[in-house]
Amino acid sequence: MAISSSAPSTLPEQRLAPVCALARGPAELAAHFAIRRTVFVDAQGLFERDDRDDRDEDRATLHVVGLTAEDVAGAVRLYPLDDDGLWKGDRLAVLPTERALRLGAMLVRFAVRTAAERGGRRMVAQIQVPNVRFFERLGWAPDGDPAPMLGVEHQPMAIELSRRPGR
Ligand SMILES: CC(C)(COP(=O)(O)OP(=O)(O)OC[C@H]1O[C@@H](n2cnc3c(N)ncnc32)[C@H](O)[C@@H]1OP(=O)(O)O)[C@@H](O)C(=O)NCCC(=O)NCCS
């Protein structure tokens, strides 16, 4: 299932490989939120009705969409935590039907690259424990002890942005 966005897509019609971009306009932003709702509310039950929070209203927060040939199929968001180059990424989600196509990895790399381009020096995230290996393969490392969050064990992880990770 892909979530439709009626706005003109970020890229030309005939893209072959998945791509990531900052959500452009209300339709792509709505698609970003719809992906998150499908994954974090409907599938994982981490939130009762909606996973949106104050961060989504903050102008510093960047909302990313992952686009397959069909439509928006993934999401992630990122934001600065301070004025000293510390960024955080969260709400990484790929629709269940679109997984294992490398879109998740692409979204993580895009978030890391985007934070680095905006002066970030370090990025942190709270990672659901079954996804730790996925993040390690993308250059992230554990950064503290696991702890429950939203009823699920999360591992704090971090990546140094100055390394300019591969695309
Ligand atoms: C985690 C998630 C984003 C991965 O998305 P995806 O598009 O399926 O991942 P990719 O196809 O980019 O995976 C890249 C590689 O990592 C592997 N991989 C994916 N999930 C993995 C996991 N949990 N553990 C270890 N490896 C994993 C894939 O097999 C693939 O391996 P390959 O390069 O050898 O083919 C997706 O499963 C998801 O949305 N899960 C539910 C929401 C969630 O848990 N979000 C993260 C919260 S911390």
Which pLDDT tens digits describe the chain residue by residue (167 residues)? 555 444 445 554 445 788 999 999 999 999 999 999 999 999 999 999 999 999 999 999 999 999 998 799 999 999 999 999 999 999 999 999 999 999 999 999 999 999 999 999 999 999 999 999 999 999 999 999 999 999 999 999 999 997 554 44
Sequence-ordered list of residues with C-beta below 8 angstroms from that of 4, at least 6 positions apart, any chain: 31, 71, 72
pLDDT of residue 5: 47
pLDDT tens digits, 105-119: 999 999 999 999 999
Rounded Cα distance between 109 and 139, Å, is 10
Q: Which atom of ligand 1 is nearest to the CA of 66?
A: 7
Say how far residue 56 (Cα) sits from the centre of its chain. 13
CATH top-level class of 19-163: alpha beta
103 CA → ligand 1 middle, Å: 8
pLDDT of residue 14: 47
Domain boundaries, the chain: 19-163
pLDDT of residue 17: 84
Ligand 1 contacts (CB < 6 A) are 39, 92-94, 99-105, 127-128, 130-131, 133-134, 137
Rounded Cα distance between 165 and 121, Å, is 12
